[in-house]
Amino acid sequence: MSGRLFVVGLGPGNPDQVTPQASAAVAGARFFYGYKPYLDRLDLRPDQLRIASDNREELSRAEAALTKAAEGETVAVVSGGDPGVFAMAAAVCEAIEAGPKAWRDIDIEIVPGVTAMLAVAARIGAPLGHDFCAISLSDNLKPWDVVERRLIAAAEAGFVIALYNPISKARPWQLGKAFERLRAVLPAETLVIFGRAAGRTDERIEIFALGEANAEKADMATCVIIGSRETRAIERGDRSPLVYTPRSLASQ
């Protein structure tokens, strides 16, 4: 008897940015697995159960959810943002590949969501309006030299760069080092956006020049967007500036 597993993206945190598809998945599931701050966003009924786990326990959380679904239950694994971007969808796939054959019979439905970089971009203008990339700055799961190589390749090729997982208590120096490396490739005036809690009441979106960007202003809930040479700001008097990357690029 195989059940059903939803992997649900709850969006950046504003309830108005949760899709009806995600809300329906939440209404239909009985067991909920996730990092506690994401589970805390759910308004559940008494017959629905939360099983919280720590931020760095993605694989064991996926295994627990699959085990429960394999018993025939309807289960949801929840992520902030989009579950396919540095979140639970890949962890669930990893667990299925390494797990018992029966897990391949579970109905898996992945429900996409608005990922952090899109929410931050929308609050400031259109910094992702041209080619861009998303890099997780965590070196828990890949060597730091690969992170640096990708940052430099992306900046040299003209991509705007969105950084996920920029900093944490266990990883205090990586963002500063990333800025240092990028300063060797990009002009000091390149625009950098620190976006935190986009669309929520505690939102904080700040713009810096790369030459002055201070990693200590970010925390683990910040999405950092580093512009390309083309990214620019439109001043608007008392209103906050619009930061955008033009759609077009002349010959270089």
Name residues contacting a second copy, limited to 105-144 (CB under 8 A): 105, 108, 110-115, 118-119, 121-123, 125-136, 141-143
Using DSSP, state whether 68 is helix, strand or coil.
helix
CB under 8 A: which stretch of 66-74, 92-100, 186-194, 204-212 binds a second copy? 92-100
HEC per residue, 85-143: CCCHHHHHHHHHHHCCHHHHHCEEEEECCCCHHHHHHHHHEECCCCCEEEEECCCCCCC
Q: Identify residues 141-180 at the interface with a second copy (CB under 8 A).
A: 141-143, 146, 149-150, 153-154, 156-159
Q: Contact, 209 vs 192, CB < 8 A?
A: yes
Q: How far is the CB of 178 from a second copy (least distance, A)?
A: 13
Q: How far is the CB of 80 from a second copy (least distance, A)?
A: 14
> How does DSSP classify residue 84?
T
Q: How far is the CB of 42 from a second copy (least distance, A)?
A: 16
Give 51 or 108: the residue with its C-beta nearer to a second copy: 108
Q: Identify residues 66-85 at the interface with a second copy (CB under 8 A).
A: 82-85
Residue 39 found at the interface with a second copy (CB under 8 A): no
Give 177 or 232: the residue with its C-beta nearer to a second copy: 232
Give 118 or 167: the residue with its C-beta nearer to a second copy: 118
Residue 135, φ and ψ in degrees, nearest 5: -130, 130
Spatial CA neighbour of 89 closest among 128, 132, 126, 59: 59
Tell me the longest C-alpha to C-alpha distance in the chain. 63
Give 157 or 209: the residue with its C-beta nearer to a second copy: 157
Q: Contact, 160 vs 131, CB < 8 A?
A: yes
Residue 40 found at the interface with a second copy (CB under 8 A): no
Residue 2 found at the interface with a second copy (CB under 8 A): no
Q: How far is the CB of 155 from a second copy (least distance, A)?
A: 10
**Amino acid symbol at 163:** L
CB under 8 A: which stretch of 26-34, 42-50, 207-215, 229-237 binds a second copy? 229-237
Residue 232 found at the interface with a second copy (CB under 8 A): yes
> How does DSSP classify residue 181?
H
Q: Contact, 100 vs 29, CB < 8 A?
A: no
Among the listed residues 29, 42, 96, 221, the single contact to a second copy using CB under 8 A: 96
Q: How far apart are CA 115 and CA 118, in angstroms?
A: 6
